[in-house]
C-alpha cells in the first residue's frame, strides 16, 4: 500500500495533479474551499490559443 | 472535472478547509474542517428545485456579481459536486426568520438546518498546494475609475458576459444598460402595484385619478380625508411612473458593446502594485477580443499595452490572426485616465508612444486586464501547512526545483507558485504529482524492505 496524498485547491492545477496521482493508483484527498471544484478556469468561456471550451 | 468527481482513487472534499498539519514528509497528519452545507451530501441529487423556490436573491460570486443566485445554490450549473449549499449569511431560516421553503420543496429530504461542521483527520505522505490566485482589485488604481464607471469591467467579468452560460447568455450587453433594465423592471413592478390601488379608488369615486388630482390641487376637496389619501397615493404613483418613462426613453438608445478597449498591465508591471508580469493577460485580452468579434461581427477592439507578450506555442500566430481577422488594433501606450462620456460611454485618454501623441477616444466598454495577485488566504495556509512565501506572497520555490516548497514533502503548482496560464499550470501540476508520487511509493518500498 502506498501513502495517500493531499491536494489543496480544486482548480485546474489541483485537478490535474489529483487525476495524475489517482491514475497511478495512489489514493488522493482533494480539498476545495468553495462548494464546487473548477476554480478560475471554470469561469472562463474559452481558452487560448485554440478557443477550446474551458469546462 | 467530471473525472475528478468519479475517480475511485479520489476523495473529493469540497467546501472544506485544511486546519492543521503535523508531521514530516512521508507522514503528515492533516486536520480538515468540512464546512456545513446544511444539505446532506449523500441525499442531495442536485435537481435544483430548492433554488427555484428560495425567496432570497443574492449576487452570484461565480458570475462576478453580474448575475443573481438564491440563498440555497449550486456554485455553478456544471459544478462538481452538484450538491447544493445554503449560504448561512443570507438564508432566512438560519437568520431567525420563518422560512424553510427549501426543506418543504426537497423531495430527497436532504435539507438539514441542524447540520454542523465536521472535522476529519487524514494520514498522508505528501501535500500539493494548488491554492490558485486572486484577481487584482483595479479600484486601487484611481485613474481607471473601476466601479465608478459601470462600463469599465475586469477581464473575468467580461469573460462571464461572453459566456453562453453567463448572466447575459453571451450577448454583449453593457453593465450600465443591464442596470437600467433591472431598474425598469423594478419600477414597472412597483407601478403595477400602485396602479392596482388607484384602480380601486377610481372605481370607488368613479373618476380617473388624473382628473381628480387636478381638482384636488386647486383645493376643491379640502378636509376630505379619504380623498387626501387618494391624492397622496396618486402623487407617489407619479414619482414611480415619471422616472420610469425617462428610463424607457433612455432604453431605446441601448446598444450592444461594439467598440471595445482592452487595457493591459492593470496592477502588474506597475511599481505601485506588482512589478512582475502576470504572463497570461496579453493572450487573455486577445482571446476575449476574438470571441467578442465572433459573437458580434461588427465589434472592433483596441488593445492598449506597453508591448504584447505572446510567448508560448501558437501564441504569436494567434495574436497576428486576431489582428488580421478579428478587427483587433494594437496600440502601444499607457492609459492616463478614463472618464465617462455621453450614453455611459467610457472615454480613454492615452499616449500613443509610437505616434508620440496624446489622444482621447470613446468606447462602448473598457476591459481591464487585471494582474494575477497572490490569493488572500495564502498567508494563513502557508502558516498552517508550514511553508515559506516569497516577497510577493507566492509560495517560495527554487528555480532548479520549481515545484518543491521550503518544506520537504510539500509541493506547489499553478498560480500559487507564480502567475502562469492554463498549459503551464497543467504541466506544473503533473510535475508536482510526480514529485508527490515519489514519496508515496517510497514508503511502499520501505514497507516491503521491512517485511523482507
Interval B347-401: pLDDT, tens: 999 999 999 999 999 999 999 999 999 999 999 999 999 999 999 999 999 999 9
Tell me the C-alpha distance between A27 and B16, whole Å: 18
Residues B240 and B186 occupy one common structural domain: yes
Q: Do B18 and A37 touch (CB under 8 A)?
A: no
Residues B153 and B275 in one domain: yes
pLDDT, average across residues B42-69: 92
* Chains A–B, number of C-beta pairs less than 8 Å apart: 250
The total domain count for chain B is 4
User: Considering CB atoms only, which of A6, A24, A48 is closest to B283?
Assistant: A48
* CA B422 – CA B431 distance, rounded (Å): 14
| Parent domain of A39 | 5-46
Domain co-membership, B354 together with B391: no
To which H or E segment does residue B50 belong?
Answer: helix B49-53
Average pLDDT for B75-104 = 92
Share of chain B above pLDDT 90, in %: 76
Same domain, B164 and B52: no
Q: Is the pTM of this model over 0.80?
A: yes
pLDDT, tens only, A6-52? 999 999 999 999 999 999 999 999 999 999 999 999 999 888 888 88
B392 and B364 both lie in a single domain: no
Check residue B84 and give its pLDDT: 95
Structure confidence at residue B452 as a pLDDT band (50, 70, 90): low
Whether A3 sits inside 8 A of B315 (CB atoms) is no
Q: Is residue B18 part of a domain?
A: no
ipTM attached to this prediction? 0.95
- Range 291-350 of B in CB contact (< 8 A) with A: 291, 312-315, 317-318
Q: Could you tell me if B54 and B157 lie in one domain?
A: no
Interface check for B51 against chain A (CB to CB < 8 A): the answer is: no
Give me the pLDDT at residue B213, please: 87
In a shared domain, residues B152 and B283: yes
Cβ pair B314:A49 closer than 8 A = yes
Written in H, E and C, the secondary structure of B335-378 is EEEEEECHHHCEEEEEEECCCCEEEEEECCEEEEEECEEECCCH
Domain that holds residue B144: 135-173+256-373
What average pLDDT score do residues B235-245 get? 90
| End-to-end C-alpha distance for chain A, whole angstroms | 34
At residue A55 the predicted structure's pLDDT band, cuts being 50, 70 and 90, is: low
The answer to the question of residue A10 being in a domain is yes
Q: Across chain B, what does the average pLDDT equal? A: 92
B143 and B286 share a domain?
yes
* CATH classification at residue B110: 3.30.70
Q: Are B56 and B19 in contact (CB under 8 A)?
A: no
Q: Which residues from A are below 8 Å from B381, CB to CB? A: 8
Among B51-55, B170-174, B382-386, the range scoring the smallest mean pLDDT is B170-174
Range B126-150 average pLDDT: 96
pLDDT surpassing 90 at residue B212? no
Answer yes or no: is B122 within a domain. no
DSSP, res B80: B
Is pLDDT at B93 greater than 60 in this prediction? Answer: yes
Grid coordinates belonging to A20: 495524475
CATH code, domain carrying B297: 3.50.50.60
Residues B60 and B147 grouped into a single domain: no
Domain boundary among B251, B284, B311: B251
- In this complex, the residue of B9, B74, B124 whose CB is nearest that of residue A3 is B124
Residue A1 has pLDDT above 70, yes or no: no
Contacts of B8 in chain A (CB under 8 A): 22
Amino acid at each position: 500500500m502506498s501513502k495517500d496524498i493531499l491536494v489543496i485547491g480544486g482548480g485546474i492545477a489541483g485537478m490535474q495533479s489529483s487525476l495524475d496521482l489517482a491514475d497511478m493508483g495512489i489514493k488522493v484527498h482533494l480539498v476545495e474551499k468553495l462548494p464546487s471544484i473548477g476554480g478560475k478556469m471554470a469561469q472562463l468561456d474559452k481558452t487560448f490559443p485554440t478557443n477550446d471550451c474551458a469546462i | 472535472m467530471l473525472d475528478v468527481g468519479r475517480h475511485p482513487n479520489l476523495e473529493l472534499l469540497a467546501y472544506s478547509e485544511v486546519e492543521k498539519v503535523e508531521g514530516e514528509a512521508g507522514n503528515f497528519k492533516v486536520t480538515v474542517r468540512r464546512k456545513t452545507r446544511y444539505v446532506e451530501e449523500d441525499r442531495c441529487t442536485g435537481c435544483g428545485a430548492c433554488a427555484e423556490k428560495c425567496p432570497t436573491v443574492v449576487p452570484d460570486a461565480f458570475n462576478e456579481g453580474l448575475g443573481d443566485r438564491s440563498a440555497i445554490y449550486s456554485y455553478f450549473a456544471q459544478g462538481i459536486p452538484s450538491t447544493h449549499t445554503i449560504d448561512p449569511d443570507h438564508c432566512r431560516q438560519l437568520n431567525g426568520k420563518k422560512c424553510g421553503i427549501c426543506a418543504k420543496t426537497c423531495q430527497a429530504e436532504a435539507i438539514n438546518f441542524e447540520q454542523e461542521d465536521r472535522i476529519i483527520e487524514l494520514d498522508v505522505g505528501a501535500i500539493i498546494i494548488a491554492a490558485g490566485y486572486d484577481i487584482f482589485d483595479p479600484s486601487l488604481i484611481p485613474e481607471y475609475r473601476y466601479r465608478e464607471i459601470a462600463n469599465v469591467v475586469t477581464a473575468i467579468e467580461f469573460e462571464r458576459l461572453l459566456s453562453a452560460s453567463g448572466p447575459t447568455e453571451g450577448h454583449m450587453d453593457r453593465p450600465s444598460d443591464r442596470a437600467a433594465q433591472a431598474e425598469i423592471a423594478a419600477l414597472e413592478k412597483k407601478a403595477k402595484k400602485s396602479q392596482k390601488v388607484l384602480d380601486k379608488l377610481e372605481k370607488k369615486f368613479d373618476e380617473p385619478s388624473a382628473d381628480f388630482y387636478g381638482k384636488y390641487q386647486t383645493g376643491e376637496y379640502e378636509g376630505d380625508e379619504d380623498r387626501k389619501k387618494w391624492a397622496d397615493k396618486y402623487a407617489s404613483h407619479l414619482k414611480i411612473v415619471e422616472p420610469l418613462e425617462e428610463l424607457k426613453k433612455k432604453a431605446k438608445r441601448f446598444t450592444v458593446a461594439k467598440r471595445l478597449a482592452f487595457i493591459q498591465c492593470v496592477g502588474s508591471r506597475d511599481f505601485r502594485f506588482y512589478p512582475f508580469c502576470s504572463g497570461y493577460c496579453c493572450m487573455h485580452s486577445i482571446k476575449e477580443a476574438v470571441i467578442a468579434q465572433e459573437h458580434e461581427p461588427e465589434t472592433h477592439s483596441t488593445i492598449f499595452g506597453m508591448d504584447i507578450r505572446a510567448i508560448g506555442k501558437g501564441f504569436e500566430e494567434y495574436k497576428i490572426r486576431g489582428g488580421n481577422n478579428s478587427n483587433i488594433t494594437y496600440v502601444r501606450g499607457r492609459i492616463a485616465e478614463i472618464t465617462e462620456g455621453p450614453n455611459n460611454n467610457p472615454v480613454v485618454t492615452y499616449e500613443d508612444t509610437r505616434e508620440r501623441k496624446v489622444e482621447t477616444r470613446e468606447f462602448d466598454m473598457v476591459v481591464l486586464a487585471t494582474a494575477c495577485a497572490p490569493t488572500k488566504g495564502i498567508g494563513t495556509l502557508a502558516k498552517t501547512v508550514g511553508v515559506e512565501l516569497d516577497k510577493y506572497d507566492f509560495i517560495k520555490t527554487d528555480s532548479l526545483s520549481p515545484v518543491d516548497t521550503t518544506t520537504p514533502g510539500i509541493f506547489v503548482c499553478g498560480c500559487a507558485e507564480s502567475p502562469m496560464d492554463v498549459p503551464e499550470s497543467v504541466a506544473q501540476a503533473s510535475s508536482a504529482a510526480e514529485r508527490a508520487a515519489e514519496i508515496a511509493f517510497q514508503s511502499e518500498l520501505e514497507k516491503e524492505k521491512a517485511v523482507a
